[in-house]
Structure 1
Amino acid sequence: MHIFDRRLLIGSLLASSAIVSPANAQTDPAAAQTPVAAPAAQTAGEYEGDIVVTAQKRDQSIQSVPISIQAIGTKRLDDLNISNFNQYTQLLPSVSFQTTQPGSTVVYMRGVASGGDGNHSGPLPSVGTYLDEQPVTTIGGTLDVHIYDIARIESLAGPQGTLYGASSEAGTIRIITNKPDLSGFYGRVDGEVNSVKSGGIGSKLEGMLNMPLSGSAALRVVGFYQRDAGYIDNVAGCRSYLPEPTATSCTSANGGVVVDNAAFVKKNYNDTETYGGRAALKVDLDSNWTVTPTVLYQEQRNHGTYGYDPKVGDLQVQHFFPEYRRDRFIQGALTIEGKVGNWDVTYAGAYLDRKTFTSSDYTDYAEAYDSMYSSAGGLAGYFYYQDNAGKTIDPRQKIIGTDHFKKISQEFRVASPSTDRFRVVSGAFYQRQTNAIFQDYQIANLGTAVSVNGSPGTLWLTQQKRVDTDYAVFGEASFDILPTLTATAGGRAYIYDNSLIGFYGFGRNPAIDPADGRPYTATPFNAAGSGQTGVAGCYLANGQTLRQAYLDGGDTSTLLPATVAGSPCTNLATYTTTGLIPKKTQGQGATYRFNLTFKPTDKVLAYATFSRGFRPGGINRRGDVAPYDADFLTNYELGLKTTLFERLRFNAAIYQQQWDKFQFSFLGANSFTIIQNGPNARIRGAEADANYSTGGLSLTAAGSYTDAKTRNDLCATQICSGDGTDVLAPSGTRLPITPRFKASGTARYSMPIGTAKAYIQGLVAHQSSASADIRLAQAATLGRLQAYTTGNASVGAEVSNFTFEVFVQNLWDERAELSRYQQCGTCSQRTYIVTSTPRTIGLRAGAKF
């Protein structure tokens, strides 16, 4: 569907929010005389009350859950105008992340981060993300689900491997939507327009309708469109290659290749459009059973790049190819809830389909390698970047990439009555996710003979299929030893089965060397002159690789057909006499959780927890690199939850975690992602949050301290040589990405002014500096993620069912560094900084009916 048609569809949904109510009133006189109001929501400044969460697969007060959990409820999400991942995670003290652009983010909790994750063939995430009952964690990172009409966001810190499984090794984030409501018809519409300092104009339009269809069924639909304005400029620049003397010269002095980016110069180069919708149907089959099918569709279109190059200037880059990313996902889900006797029964199933398409500038690679091989005349002298006539060509690359994720998950569980002295939650879980991987590194006019076979102009191709499958049974039992003392024990037995098959690498010149007489013997073998990687490693009918047959003097003419359509052949597989099968790694084991909870009064709870989580192992997409094993996290935790004076909540936890043989992902030779098991790490920390409300004043605060260090040397290979020459990070090195300190606070004051209720509010967030990479040499070239403090403020009023607000985000225009990265493993000449959006001033308005 064309983007215009999608906008029209979403616009129609939003417009219907304003016209359906009168239409219904005209066809139902009784409804016109007695309109059904929306459920009462707290007005500005009111105490949000005790949040009910489902972190333990039961409805419980957050103050009764004996784990470290933060929850952001509906009122606070609305008050702070939170609509995306970056905004809500600044309120969660235990959460950190790496990002290169919206929708491409990897989440970490409590310092469990080695860096470099999120690649399509990288390790699975260590933090699980759930939308209602269904996991939406994908191999390529966290879905950035648009936040609107959300009941709450729950952040569960520490291993959740008993109830939530493999991708919840370090914690879980749960996004809980508002469900269809049988009580009556109501809706809301919200809009926003904003201006970014030295950037463009942004906007947002959102709407929701809740529509009872009968006495036992209701439909709830949500639509949204958001445009985030750009603020990074792609400025004019040039690149020149040896024999030219200067890498950024715009004129040719020695007959070398010189290029400019005039066709792509643009102000406010980076902008994002996000649009989609969500629908849920609730059907009460009887007084005990409810069926809730849901569907979510979201599309995000990024343009430009979100990291600026400080060598060029503040919020500036010099890029030379089109840059964009399209991320589209749709999920259908079904939840069935009911009772058998007095036991609760739940089934939760979902199918997720996510497609991403990217175009990336890779000019820095050519710049780096031209300098690296300067003694041989640069790229022109060392490689064979030539057209079909043998003429040296512009060596710059762009990357065209797609990922197609598919995921099916199913869970069935039962729970005994929560009021029983001995109570149980148990169930079974199955999940299968696949990814069709395509990465095409293109050089314009590259000759057919030196390109990847069948793909003229392609220097390097990755085309693979990845499958990750998980099976588990789980259970957790609690027993009230005394009315004030409860013991809980839980376990999860799991099996994982992960596989990878396909092609990676350079092509191979298919021509015959007259002196040899066999195909694939002519030189140059490819544009890189490589005789080892790519088609050279593909399998022949006899089980040999092309390279082996070439060196042994054997037949080189019988390459097996490609197992993944579109690739020239297969070099990542296991050979059998019946054909090629995927490379596989499997594992099984168990995780556990033990907890002792003491609750002397309704206002005080203390707990001690011992828990363990895991992350599955997997296959490296380089066939000559061994698979990596599962890693494990063991957690020791003490926590306290209090409610004082009815208006003050204070919760805190201290913990120590042991992370064994953590998975470490990095760019190796040819900027190729390699994953290996590293050393052990020890993580100590504390986290706390508080909420206070009196009269028209509401205050919240949250903070964390994280001390995460390696306990052994991290080396270039899994087993260190012992002489210290291969040590990348010595024992005691702090783990990257996670700041030592992180804190945030909000204040909101409301007061009546005539018939209106006015309010003013502010938010301040701070985090200390952090390393951008665990490896000391790479961390030095990247530079540290600098400490920052940001602030937001707003003033507004509620008049009847209408709200109006003026706001400022990033008050003092801080360059909050979210991530640092380089385009390739050897591209240390340019580091890009992903920063927060500059100061943004806007107007927001909304209506409820």
Structure 2
Amino acid sequence: MHAKFRPPQRCVDEFNKMLKVSSFCCKAVGEHGSRAGRQRLARLLGGLEMRDGLKAFLLASSGGACLLAGSLAHAQDAADDTTIGEIVVTAQKKSERLLDVPVSVAAVTGDNLSRQNLVQVRDFYNRVPGVSLSGGGTEQRANGVAIRGVTTGGGTAATVAFALDDVPLTSGAASAQSPLIDIDPSDLQRVEILRGPQGTLYGASSLGGLVKYVTVSPDAERFSGRVEAGANTVSGGGEGWSLRGAVNLPIVSEKLALRLSGFTRHDPAYLDNINAKAAGEDVNDNRVEGGRAALLFKPTDALTIDLSVLRQEAKFVGSPQIRICPSCGTGAFTGGVDFTPYYGDMTLNIAPTKRDVDVTLYQGRATLDLGFADLTSVSAYNRVKSASDLDQTNTFGFLLSAFSAPTGSSVSLINADQTRKFSQEIRLASKSDGPLEWLVGGFYTREKISVDQTLVVRPTTGSDTTAYASVGPATFEEKAAFADVTYHFTSAFDVQAGVRYSSNDQDSASTTTIAPQAVRFFGPTSSEPQAKSSDDAVTWLFTPRYKLSADTMAYVRIATGYRPGGPNSSGVSGIPLSFQSDSVVSYEAGLKGVIPAARFTYEAALFRVDWDDIQLLTTDVASQFTYYTNGSTARSQGLELSGRWAPVRGLSLDGALTLLDAELSDDLKSPAGASPIYGDKGDRLPGSAKVSASLLGDYDWSIGHGFSATVGASVAYVGERYGDFANTLPTTTANTAYGSRIKLPSYTTVDVRAGLYNDDWRFSAYIKNLGDERGVVEATTRGGTSSPQAIFLQPRTAGVALSRSF
């Protein structure tokens, strides 16, 4: 077989004749050599994308035949869906059918997110079984996401890595406050969630897995665009609205194109505040806006250059944490915590609280076809600025008496953080005709971090008084080299092996100013010398894969991951200067397949994760300041099942189930001088539900005159969980197994949607959290057992959206 590169226009002409449609645009890659017929066909056609109006199809191979599948992921355009299972992802830094990837992966398209009106990140993560998200609003950070239960909660560094295309978003330094960026669905081709450690190909901080945002690329063949307006309202709360738009501009046919997009979103508020200094209704006012510009340039058939810049600004007002449990005034946890809000339903009593996040990301990618291999360079510069003013009276209320503050005063923590991150990756991927595929590369990143904190006593009237102020600059530098090879012993059996060596150097300094009234809590004013740490790690993977048939694949995967340690830089005497890295080893066996006759795809994975030298966030007894330390081991094991069934034309059903057992495999150990962390062997890891599941269904049908109608519903279940490991023991024997940890109840949410659409227009209406469930997303005793805090699901939200494509 020898298939040369075919010009896109020839693809257009041939497919127009074959399928009797117009306005197709497609792209193809060349292929040559002696691979098995199915492998050659998959490589030749695996990246062929075609668009006709609003509908997107992907041409791929299955059982030797070329099939059209909807939307690149669990497609919801079921009225036109004739096959299932042909999803293409780039989880292993190459385009592959999802059913051929020997990793447990969940994938969803940006179109699908928009169709389900999942425009906020928390909407999506909390509906994927086995994935949990804590926090929200002013508390929304990357370390709030956990996969397969790999987290200790409590503000430690992220255990899930995030990437935008091939650019790492997660900071390697624990001191950096990595925000959870809201990528608008209009900019997303798809989101890929890779379960299990990805330390070989994606590096540090992917202990639990990876979330990869794949953006929409410019199209050099066709002018197109889309605009959308939406409005929504929350039960018992306020109103919200959104505007978004994108335009694709082909400048030089097949050579140069520009895509511009932008959005603004005002989320409806629903929390009331009775605090005298911030009283009002619907105070959690959140606004997010941003845009992206992307340029595609193909000076030759062999060279492709992609340049882009992304800007986003988010403003969060009010804390999502609500004080609960009126019966906890004595500190007694008899029979567990009462989740009744202390001040009334969805009501706060906090001083003014806000957080602003500003993100700018520049990236450039160049791919050169060398004939025998593809050479890819990915460069990026990312700047994240975060400024917050958070009420911390529950934690530092002891300062009020020390400063003789009048009744009604509060204590606030003012943060000003900035992370500037440069990263560079160069990799070479083979295009050989033989049985050996290989990938080699190098990676470098340097981060400059500044963390400025000021703790102030805020009286009811007059100026703030500073109790503590700290300036903490830090740097993080990492170098890595990696290699990945796959050897095809036969057309059905291959083995993948990979290794990565990483080394990092960190330093930090801290200058701390302490008010005289606070010296007895925090120690005297000090200037800590520059603290340095160095670390290295080897991560690896080994994956045999066997194709039982053209439509069924089984695999075994052993993989490792690590999270860097680093220096502590609080400036408070008695706190250790540094902490060590932690690591995981994951064992996984999986089965993926499609049953064409039954129009059913399925995926199953059994896994076990062993976690060593767990990083913990603990509290210094004297000062109440937190710092990082290491202690204990943990184990997470379970079963993941997912499937999609299209029993009749127009109807699609998707289901997923995760059974998880994530627990300590040894007792937690606290360092001397720190608040004890109570956790015994067998205690469950924070936020890990033993059972979580989702079921989604959509039905589309034609109503004539070029229009179709659609209805759909989604159900998500999250089982019981436990909160962070406790710093105090209970005052009764009711909860001795878990100290004073809070047990979070299970909850079920139901979403419904309906709409009308044709090739140009789409109208949709939806209700999220139809039953107005008060599901508890997170709960903590950080402020003491007498005043536990909880974050609840957003109440029932109804909305509409109208979009126009051209």
Name the aligned partner's letter for residue 265 of structure 2: Q
What secondary structure, in the 3-state scheme, does the structure 2 residue paired with 1:530 have? helix
The 1:677/1:298 distance shift into structure 2, 3 A limit, reads: same
1:797 corresponds in structure 2 to: 756
Q: Does 1:729 align with 2:679?
A: yes
Show the 5 A alignment for 1:569-584.
Answer: 570=527, 572-573=528-529, 582-584=530-532
The 1:230/1:480 distance shift into structure 2, 3 A limit, reads: same
Work out the CA distance in 1 between the residues paired with 2:85 and 2:544.
26
1:381-423 CA-partner distances (Å, limit 9, x unpaired):
xx3547xxxxx79753222211111111110001002753101
The 1:459/1:100 distance shift into structure 2, 3 A limit, reads: farther
Match of 2:510 among 502, 511, 514: 502
Match of 1:832 among 773, 777, 789: 789
1:692 corresponds in structure 2 to: 645
Q: Does 1:40 align with 2:77?
A: no
Asked whether the equivalents of residues 500 and 539 of structure 2 are also in contact (C-alpha less than 8 Å), the reply is: yes
Asked whether the equivalents of residues 37 and 184 of structure 1 are also in contact (C-alpha less than 8 Å), the reply is: no
2:184 corresponds in structure 1 to: 147
The 1:129/1:732 distance shift into structure 2, 3 A limit, reads: same
Per the TM alignment, residue 718 of structure 1 is displaced from its structure 2 partner at its CA by 7.9
Per the TM alignment, residue 295 of structure 1 is displaced from its structure 2 partner at its CA by 0.5
2:703 corresponds in structure 1 to: 753
1:541-591 CA-partner distances (Å, limit 9, x unpaired):
xxxxxxxxxxxxxxxxxxxxxxxxxxxxx2x22xxxxxxxx2011111311
Work out the CA distance in 1 between the residues paired with 2:114 and 2:387.
32
Q: Does 1:663 align with 2:700?
A: no
Stretch of structure 1 that moved more, 394-403 or 331-340? 394-403
Name the aligned partner's letter for residue 715 of structure 1: K
1:628 corresponds in structure 2 to: 579
Stretch of structure 1 that moved more, 333-342 or 805-814? 333-342
Show the 5 A alignment for 1:180-195.
Answer: 180-195=218-233
Per the TM alignment, residue 531 of structure 1 is displaced from its structure 2 partner at its CA by 8.2
2:479 corresponds in structure 1 to: 471
Asked whether the equivalents of residues 495 and 545 of structure 2 are also in contact (C-alpha less than 8 Å), the reply is: yes
2:106 corresponds in structure 1 to: 70
1:225 corresponds in structure 2 to: 264
Per the TM alignment, residue 203 of structure 1 is displaced from its structure 2 partner at its CA by 0.8
2:342 corresponds in structure 1 to: 311
Name the aligned partner's letter for residue 596 of structure 1: P
What secondary structure, in the 3-state scheme, does the structure 2 residue paired with 1:466 have? strand
Asked whether the equivalents of residues 424 and 477 of structure 1 are also in contact (C-alpha less than 8 Å), the reply is: yes
1:763 corresponds in structure 2 to: 714
What secondary structure, in the 3-state scheme, does the structure 2 residue paired with 1:470 have? strand
Stretch of structure 1 that moved more, 94-103 or 797-806? 94-103
Work out the CA distance in 2 between the residues paired with 1:653 and 1:712.
26
Please report the RMSD computed on the Cα atoms of aligned residues, expressed in angstroms: 2.5
Asked whether the equivalents of residues 137 and 317 of structure 2 are also in contact (C-alpha less than 8 Å), the reply is: no
Name the aligned partner's letter for residue 318 of structure 1: N
Work out the CA distance in 1 between the residues paired with 2:532 and 2:613.
20
TM-score of the superposition, structure 2-length normalised? 0.82
2:206 corresponds in structure 1 to: 168
Work out the CA distance in 2 between the residues paired with 1:87 and 1:649.
25
2:163 corresponds in structure 1 to: 130
Per the TM alignment, residue 278 of structure 1 is displaced from its structure 2 partner at its CA by 0.7
The 1:326/1:339 distance shift into structure 2, 3 A limit, reads: same
Per the TM alignment, residue 298 of structure 1 is displaced from its structure 2 partner at its CA by 0.5
Work out the CA distance in 1 between the residues paired with 2:320 and 2:300.
51
Name the aligned partner's letter for residue 817 of structure 1: V
Per the TM alignment, residue 793 of structure 1 is displaced from its structure 2 partner at its CA by 0.2
2:602 corresponds in structure 1 to: 650
Work out the CA distance in 2 between the residues paired with 1:601 and 1:61.
15
1:713-761 CA-partner distances (Å, limit 9, x unpaired):
11222899xxxx9672111111111211111111000111122200100
What secondary structure, in the 3-state scheme, does the structure 2 residue paired with 1:151 have? strand
Show the 5 A alignment for 1:665-680.
Answer: 665-669=617-621, 670-680=623-633
Match of 1:328 among 350, 354, 358: 358
Q: Does 1:601 align with 2:560?
A: no
1:241-297 CA-partner distances (Å, limit 9, x unpaired):
xxxxxxxxxxxxxxxxxxxx4342101111211111011000002001111110000
Stretch of structure 1 that moved more, 75-84 or 39-48? 39-48
Per the TM alignment, residue 601 of structure 1 is displaced from its structure 2 partner at its CA by 1.5
Asked whether the equivalents of residues 92 and 155 of structure 1 are also in contact (C-alpha less than 8 Å), the reply is: no
The 1:479/1:463 distance shift into structure 2, 3 A limit, reads: same
Name the aligned partner's letter for residue 229 of structure 1: P
Asked whether the equivalents of residues 160 and 210 of structure 2 are also in contact (C-alpha less than 8 Å), the reply is: yes
Work out the CA distance in 2 between the residues paired with 1:436 and 1:328.
15
Match of 1:487 among 485, 491, 495: 495
Work out the CA distance in 1 between the residues paired with 2:390 and 2:110.
38
What secondary structure, in the 3-state scheme, does the structure 2 residue paired with 1:77 have? helix
Work out the CA distance in 2 between the residues paired with 1:419 and 1:397.
66
Work out the CA distance in 2 between the residues paired with 1:232 and 1:127.
30
Show the 5 A alignment for 1:436-585.
Answer: 436-444=450-458, 457-504=465-512, 506-507=514-515, 526-530=516-520, 533-535=523-525, 538=526, 570=527, 572-573=528-529, 582-585=530-533
Work out the CA distance in 1 between the residues paired with 2:130 and 2:277.
44
Name the aligned partner's letter for residue 213 of structure 1: I
Asked whether the equivalents of residues 220 and 257 of structure 2 are also in contact (C-alpha less than 8 Å), the reply is: yes
Per the TM alignment, residue 780 of structure 1 is displaced from its structure 2 partner at its CA by 5.5
Per the TM alignment, residue 806 of structure 1 is displaced from its structure 2 partner at its CA by 1.5
1:300 corresponds in structure 2 to: 314
1:111 corresponds in structure 2 to: 149
The 1:177/1:826 distance shift into structure 2, 3 A limit, reads: closer
The 1:152/1:529 distance shift into structure 2, 3 A limit, reads: closer
The number of residue pairs the alignment matches comes to: 696
Per the TM alignment, residue 158 of structure 1 is displaced from its structure 2 partner at its CA by 0.7
Work out the CA distance in 1 between the residues paired with 2:423 and 2:759.
44
1:411 corresponds in structure 2 to: 425
Work out the CA distance in 2 between the residues paired with 1:774 and 1:299.
33
Unaligned ranges ≥5, structure 1: 1-30, 236-260, 371-378, 387-391, 449-454, 508-525, 539-569, 574-581
Match of 2:95 among 59, 62, 87: 59
1:843 corresponds in structure 2 to: 800
Work out the CA distance in 1 between the residues paired with 2:711 and 2:55.
21
Per the TM alignment, residue 444 of structure 1 is displaced from its structure 2 partner at its CA by 4.3
Name the aligned partner's letter for residue 245 of structure 2: G
Work out the CA distance in 2 between the residues paired with 1:531 and 1:299.
37
Asked whether the equivalents of residues 609 and 636 of structure 2 are also in contact (C-alpha less than 8 Å), the reply is: yes
The 1:153/1:531 distance shift into structure 2, 3 A limit, reads: closer
The 1:592/1:313 distance shift into structure 2, 3 A limit, reads: same
Work out the CA distance in 1 between the residues paired with 2:513 and 2:681.
35
Name the aligned partner's letter for residue 597 of structure 1: R
2:589 corresponds in structure 1 to: 638
Per the TM alignment, residue 303 of structure 1 is displaced from its structure 2 partner at its CA by 1.3
Q: Does 1:590 align with 2:538?
A: yes
Max Rg structure: 1
Work out the CA distance in 1 between the residues paired with 2:607 and 2:550.
24
1:614 corresponds in structure 2 to: 562
Identity of aligned residues (%): 28
What secondary structure, in the 3-state scheme, does the structure 2 residue paired with 1:715 have? coil
Name the aligned partner's letter for residue 800 of structure 2: L
The 1:419/1:38 distance shift into structure 2, 3 A limit, reads: farther
Unaligned ranges ≥5, structure 2: 1-22, 24-50, 57-69, 71-76, 324-340, 730-737
The 1:445/1:153 distance shift into structure 2, 3 A limit, reads: closer
What secondary structure, in the 3-state scheme, does the structure 1 residue paired with 2:787 have? coil
Structure 1 moving runs of 4+ over 6 Å: none
What secondary structure, in the 3-state scheme, does the structure 1 residue paired with 2:778 have? strand
2:725 corresponds in structure 1 to: 774
Asked whether the equivalents of residues 122 and 136 of structure 2 are also in contact (C-alpha less than 8 Å), the reply is: no
2:765 corresponds in structure 1 to: 806
The 1:99/1:394 distance shift into structure 2, 3 A limit, reads: closer
The 1:232/1:780 distance shift into structure 2, 3 A limit, reads: farther
